C-alpha cells in the first residue's frame, strides 16, 4: 500500500492485555493541575522499568470536572492489577497529595474499585474526615495548604497496551518532525496515551540479547548505522526510525489513534523525507491483539489518490 | 410515579409521632394498610392525613406543622420532603437517604444520625445535630443553642454565625474544596442552599468532649 508516496508495510503491531485506570486531577488552575499530573505520569514510559505506563489523556475545563476546577485526565496502564494498585497508591501519595491545591477523582466509575484515597487517608493521622456525596465517598485530609480532597476509589478496567507504528525517514530531523505531527493529531483521540517522552521512542527493542542477563536489546534490524552488519529491515535511503507506542482502553481506541497518526504523517507526503511506515511485532505469538496496518488504514485507501 | 404524599387534614392539638412513616417501614405496605397504621394516642394515619401517590421511596408531608415529631426516624434510604414546619427529632437516628424541610424544624434535629443529609430552609431549635455520629445537616435559617452537642463526626452547615458551647472550638476561616461537590449534589433538591456559591467558611470542630471529629461550618 502506498499513500501519498509513503509505503505502508503489510505488517501488524502486536499488543498485550493490560489493566488500566483513569484519574482526574484538578487544581486551583491548569498550571498546578499539570504540575501534579506531570509528576504522577513521570518515569512511566514502559512497564519494563517503571511498573506502569502513564500519560496525560487530555485537558479538562472547569465544567467537565467534579469539583468545578480546571484539570487533566490521566490514564495509567500496568501488566497486572496488583502492580497497578501499588503504583497508583505510591504515585498518589508522592505526587498528588504533595502538590499544592491538587485534588483527585475517579475517571472510570465502572470495573473493579481500587484504592485512590482509601489508604492515603491515614496520612491525616486521625483528623481525616469522609463525606458521602451522591453515594460516592470522598476523603478530606488536612494538609498544610488547606484540605486535600480525594475520592475513595477509582475503577480498574481491562485495556490494551503496546499498539505501535514505526516511521522510517531519510533523516533524523524528518523522522522526528513526522512523529511530532502524528502525536499532535493522536492527542485528540480519547481513551489513549502515548507514554514515551513526547510520545515518541527511538530505542525500539527486540526480545533477547547476546548477554544472558538482558531480556531485551536494541532492535538491530531497524538501526540505520548497522545496515551493513545485520539482517537489516532498512533500505539504503533510510537514515532514521522513530516509533510511537500507544496504550488504550480498547482495540478500537488504539486502532483509531494509529489511523489518525499515520494519516497525519501521510498528509506530509514523501517529500517530507518519510519513506515507509511499519510496525513492531514478535511474530504474532506473544500478544493476542494484532493491529494490521492495511486493515486500519482501509478507509484511507479509498480516500487517497495513490 | 408520584411521591407518596401525606396531607395533614388539620393541625392536631397533640404531638404526633411519625417514625413509622419512612420509606423503609412503608416499603411492603399498600395504601390501605398505610391508612390503618396506628401512630401515638391510638390515632391512625387515616384520622390525620389524606394520602395519595405511589412512589414509596419518595415521601412528602404537606401542610406539615410543628406537631409532627420523629419524621424520618431511622430511615436508611429514599427521601422525605416536608412542605411546612416539623416538630422535634427530625431525622433522629437516620442511617441514609435525604430529608428536606422547607419550613422550620424543632429541637434535636438529626439526633444520633449516622449517615444521610438533612436540609432545613427555615430555622432549627436547640440541640441541632446532638450526639451526631456522621452525616450532614444544613440549616439555612437561625439555630438554637447547643448545636452539635456531643457530636462525634459529621457536618453541620449554617449560614448564620451562632454562639456555640465551650467544647466546640474555632478552627479559623477556610475555603473548603469539598463544598463544591456538596453544593452541586444539592442542586436537584431546590432548597435555599442553591443560592449559595461561596465555599468560604468559619470552621468549628467538636464536640471535643466526644473526640471532636465533627464540624460546624458557618458560611461567610
Q: What is the pLDDT of residues A29-77, one digit of tens each?
A: 999 999 999 999 999 999 989 999 999 999 999 999 999 999 999 999 9
- The shortest C-alpha distance from A144 to chain B (Å) reads 12
Q: Which of A104-113, A280-289, B82-91 shows the lowest per-residue confidence on average (mean pLDDT)?
A: A280-289
pLDDT > 60? residue A221: yes
Give CA angle at A235 (A232, A238), nearest 5°: 105
At a CB cut-off of 8 Å and minimum separation 6, what does A192 contact? Answer: A57, A75, A186, A246, A247, A248, A249, A253, A254, A256, A257
pLDDT (mean) for B71-77? 97
CA distance B215 to chain A (A): 10
Tell me the per-residue pLDDT of B123-166, one tens digit each, with 9 for 90 and over: 999 999 999 999 999 999 999 999 999 999 999 999 998 889 99
Q: According to the model, what pLDDT value does residue A303 have? A: 42
So what's the ipTM on this one? 0.93
Q: Mean of the pLDDT values across residues A278-286?
A: 88
pTM of the model: 0.92
Q: What is the pLDDT of residues B9-42, one digit of tens each?
A: 999 999 999 999 999 999 999 999 999 999 998 9
pLDDT for the residue numbered A107: 97
Radius of gyration from C-alpha coordinates of chain A: 21
pLDDT of residue A35: 98
| Angle formed by the axes of helices A172-186 and A251-268, nearest 10° | 130
**What pLDDT score does A120 carry?**
97
| Cell numbers found for residue A153 | 476509589
DSSP of chain B: -PEEEEEESS--SS-EE-TT-SHHHHTT--HHHHHT-B-STT-BHHHHEEEE-SEEEEEEEEEE-TTEESTTTT--SSEEEEEE---SSTTTT--SSEEEESS---SSTTTT--SSEEEESS-B-SSTTTT--S-EEEESS-B-SSTTTT--S-EEEESS-----TTSEEEEEEE-THHHHHHHHHGGG--GGGG----EEEEEEE-GGGTT-EEEEEE-
- Secondary structure E strands in A136-252: 136-143, 146-151, 153-169, 192-193, 200-201, 205-207, 216-218, 240-248
Closest residue of A to B176, CA-based?
Answer: A147
Residue A251 in this model has a pLDDT that exceeds 60: yes
CB contact under 8 A, A147 and B177: yes
Instruction: Tell me which residue of B61, B79, B193 sits closest to A134, measured CA to CA.
Output: B79
Q: How far apart are CA A24 and CA A67, in angstroms?
A: 10
- Partners of residue A149 in chain B, C-beta under 8 Å: 177-178, 181
What domains, with CATH codes, occur in chain A?
Answer: 2-15+159-303 (3.30.70.520), 19-157 (3.30.70.520)
By the 8 A CB rule, do B211 and B167 touch? no
Q: How confident is the model at residue A299 (pLDDT cuts 50, 70, 90)?
A: low
Strands B169-175 and A103-106: unpaired
B88 to chain A, minimum CA–CA distance in Å? 25
Segment B42-62 mean pLDDT? 96
pLDDT exceeding 70 applies to what percent of chain B? Answer: 100
How many contacts, defined by CB atoms under 8 Å, are there between A and B? 43
Extended beta strands in A249-297, E state: 274-278, 289-292
CB distance A131–B182 less than 8 Å? Answer: yes
Convert the pLDDT of each residue in A82-92 to its tens digit: 999 999 999 99
Residue-wise pLDDT for B62-71, tens only, equals: 999 999 999 9
Chain A CB contacts of B175 under 8 Å are: 146
Mean of per-residue pLDDT scores for chain B: 96
Amino acid at each position: 500500500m502506498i499513500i501519498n508516496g509513503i509505503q505502508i508495510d503489510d505488517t501488524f503491531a502486536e499488543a498485550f492485555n493490560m489493566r488500566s485506570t483513569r484519574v482526574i486531577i484538578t487544581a486551583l488552575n491548569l498550571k498546578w493541575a499539570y504540575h501534579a499530573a506531570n509528576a504522577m505520569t513521570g518515569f512511566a514510559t514502559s512497564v519494563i522499568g517503571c511498573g506502569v505506563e502513564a500519560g496525560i489523556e487530555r485537558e479538562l475545563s472547569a465544567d467537565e470536572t467534579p469539583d468545578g476546577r480546571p484539570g487533566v485526565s490521566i490514564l495509567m496502564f500496568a501488566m497486572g492489577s496488583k502492580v497497578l494498585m501499588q503504583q497508583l497508591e505510591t504515585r498518589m501519595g508522592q505526587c498528588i497529595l504533595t502538590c499544592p491545591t491538587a485534588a483527585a477523582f475517579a475517571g472510570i466509575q465502572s470495573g473493579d474499585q481500587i484504592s485512590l484515597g482509601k489508604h492515603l487517608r491515614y496520612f491525616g493521622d486521625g483528623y481525616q474526615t469522609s463525606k458521602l456525596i451522591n453515594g460516592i465517598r470522598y476523603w478530606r485530609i488536612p494538609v498544610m495548604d488547606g484540605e486535600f480532597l480525594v475520592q475513595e476509589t477509582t475503577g480498574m478496567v481491562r485495556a490494551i497496551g503496546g499498539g505501535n507504528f514505526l516511521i522510517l525517514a531519510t533523516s533524523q530531523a524528518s523522522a522526528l518532525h513526522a512523529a511530532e505531527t502524528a502525536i499532535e493529531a493522536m492527542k485528540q483521540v480519547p481513551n489513549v496515551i502515548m507514554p514515551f517522552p513526547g510520545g515518541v521512542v527511538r530505542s525500539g527493542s527486540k526480545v533477547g540479547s547476546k548477554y544472558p542477563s538482558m531480556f531485551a536489546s536494541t532492535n538491530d534490524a531497524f538501526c540505520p548505522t548497522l545496515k551493513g552488519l545485520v539482517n537489516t529491515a532498512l533500505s539504503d535511503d533510510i537514515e532514521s526510525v522513530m516509533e510511537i507506542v500507544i496504550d488504550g482502553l480498547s482495540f478500537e481506541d488504539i486502532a483509531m489513534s494509529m489511523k489518525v497518526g499515520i494519516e497525519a504523517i501521510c498528509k506530509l507526503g514523501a517529500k517530507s523525507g518519510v519513506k515507509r511506515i511499519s510496525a513492531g511485532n514478535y511474530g504474532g505469538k506473544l500478544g493476542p491483539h494484532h493491529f494490521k496496518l492495511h486493515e486500519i488504514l482501509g478507509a484511507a485507501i479509498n480516500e487517497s489518490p495513490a | 410515579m408520584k411521591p407518596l404524599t401525606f396531607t395533614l387534614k388539620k393541625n392536631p392539638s397533640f404531638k404526633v409521632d411519625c417514625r413509622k412513616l419512612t420509606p423503609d417501614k412503608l416499603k411492603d405496605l399498600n395504601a390501605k394498610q398505610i391508612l390503618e397504621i396506628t401512630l401515638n394516642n391510638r390515632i391512625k394515619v387515616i384520622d390525620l392525613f389524606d394520602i395519595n401517590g405511589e412512589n414509596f421511596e419518595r415521601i412528602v408531608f404537606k401542610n406539615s406543622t410543628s406537631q409532627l415529631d420523629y419524621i424520618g426516624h431511622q430511615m436508611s434510604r429514599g427521601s422525605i420532603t416536608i412542605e411546612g414546619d416539623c416538630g422535634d427529632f427530625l431525622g433522629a437516628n437516620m442511617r441514609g437517604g435525604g430529608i428536606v424541610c422547607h419550613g422550620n424544624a424543632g429541637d434535636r434535629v438529626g439526633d444520633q444520625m449516622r449517615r444521610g443529609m438533612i436540609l432545613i430552609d427555615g430555622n432549627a431549635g436547640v440541640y441541632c445535630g446532638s450526639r451526631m455520629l456522621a452525616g450532614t445537616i444544613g440549616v439555612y435559617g437561625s439555630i438554637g443553642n447547643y448545636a452539635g452537642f456531643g457530636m462525634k463526626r459529621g457536618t453541620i452547615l449554617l449560614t448564620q454565625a451562632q454562639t456555640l458551647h465551650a467544647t466546640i472550638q474555632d478552627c479559623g476561616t477556610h475555603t473548603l474544596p469539598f463544598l463544591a461537590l456538596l453544593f452541586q449534589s444539592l442542586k436537584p433538591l431546590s432548597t435555599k442552599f442553591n443560592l449559595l456559591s461561596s465555599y468560604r467558611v468559619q470552621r468549628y470542630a467538636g464536640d471535643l468532649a466526644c473526640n471532636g471529629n465533627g464540624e460546624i461550618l458557618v458560611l461567610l
